[in-house]
Structure 1
């Protein structure tokens, strides 16, 4: 798509290209814009008044379409793994929820968090609930961004007695994950525990119970029909 002599384009370039597509085309006159112009993804235009503006070229539109396809594929892979983790939790006798909006206060301020999977044991004894958070990552860039958010991890640990990162096989090593969290590795056929999470006694707080009371747990996975 671009000359081999030009610098490689990154997600930052894709974001700027998308912003330019949605905007009136006012130039920013920075290095990202220069590289997009040099790659032929943007072009300079003049209005009758003489004002210069930028327009996304057909080549730029093709680049945006490719980025959209990549994002959709990553989202599909993420959602598929979230579903697998929820089903594994259910098979282990737990009640699992996906995408809950939960409040936590690990420090001085409240945080609005949305764990990929939150589960509790299916029990009538509060002390045995053992809430667990699973955070699913299928792309290394997403994982590295998440690891820069210690407040988020602290919030998860304020909500659950255990917190696991579930990693798509190949995107990271268990040693890269902070020690306060466990690690699971997901391959095409199975999800394996690479490192157990430290286990702490924990009971869901009132705010969490209010969210659970309004939420629907994941549907039980369908078991395969017995072979005759």
Structure 2
């Protein structure tokens, strides 16, 4: 069966001189007619992507673009909802976070976390910022792969007082995952008739202050703007008291 590993190898060969690896992936690509062997006058053998391989690469590219477009649309929807709820929102961040070491006795390690949506309350009281991470998933395979990375969730929880998985829908309009598949330390939101709804609340933990490195990164980025002139209620924007749980 031709999968992601084969498509990745095809792209690598297409961009390179085509030197053979002589492994099982290459054998399967040759047998499928996606690669062919080319012998130079010197006797050296290289690989060439066939017309069928080019068509497969083009189809993969279109599928990846569609997935990125769907993912970005849901990212923007979540960001807009958080901004309308009176939060300050960023997308596309790279933030330093701490995760446990490989062994229990090892010290914590630093890693780079890239949350799809990161937001804080619009407040002047640092203890009330309530940072929240939203991780967007629009493909089931992507979700299942992500669930195998506990260190990634640990990094998000280190950054935020709450972490949410936001699940898109598949081609039949069904959520790409179910709440009981998501670890209990994270909340779950999903799309219902195009609207975001809470499938399971996210546990909250107090965050008294954000690390200076996070503040510095936020200061270098432009927050997400609220479109259409919509204004959040003044009570949500005051920031003088912790808000009700609205999924943000």
Settle same-fold status: TM greater than 0.5: yes
Q: By how many angstroms is 1:73 displaced?
A: 0.5
Higher RCO (Cα < 8 Å, 6 or more apart): 2
| Equivalent position of 1:215 in the other structure | 221
- Deviations 1:68-110 (CA, angstroms, capped at 9, x unpaired): 0000110011111000000010111111110111111133211
The answer on whether the counterparts of 1:44 and 1:53 sit within 8 Å (CA) in structure 2 is: yes
Q: By how many angstroms is 1:30 displaced?
A: 1.9
| Equivalent position of 2:154 in the other structure | 154
SS at match of 1:199: coil
| Equivalent position of 2:17 in the other structure | 24
SS at match of 1:218: coil
| Equivalent position of 1:201 in the other structure | 206
Q: By how many angstroms is 1:52 displaced?
A: 1.3
Task: Find the aligned partners of 1:109 and 1:188 in 2 and give their Cα distance.
Answer: 41
Task: Find the aligned partners of 1:82 and 1:110 in 2 and give their Cα distance.
Answer: 26
SS at match of 1:180: coil
| Equivalent position of 1:178 in the other structure | 183
| Equivalent position of 2:120 in the other structure | 120
The answer on whether the counterparts of 1:119 and 1:133 sit within 8 Å (CA) in structure 2 is: yes
Give the ranges of 4+ consecutive aligned residues of structure 1 lying more than 6 Å apart after TM superposition. Answer: none
1:111 aligns with 2:108: no
1:86 aligns with 2:79: yes
- Deviations 1:148-190 (CA, angstroms, capped at 9, x unpaired): 2111111111111000010113211111111111011124510
SS at match of 2:99: coil
Q: By how many angstroms is 1:63 displaced?
A: 0.7
Q: By how many angstroms is 1:35 displaced?
A: 1.5
- Deviations 1:51-77 (CA, angstroms, capped at 9, x unpaired): 111100111111101100000110011
**Alignment RMSD:** 1.3
Task: Find the aligned partners of 2:123 and 2:16 in 1 and give their Cα distance.
Answer: 54
SS at match of 1:105: strand
- Deviations 1:34-62 (CA, angstroms, capped at 9, x unpaired): 21111111111110011111100111111
Count of equivalent residues: 217
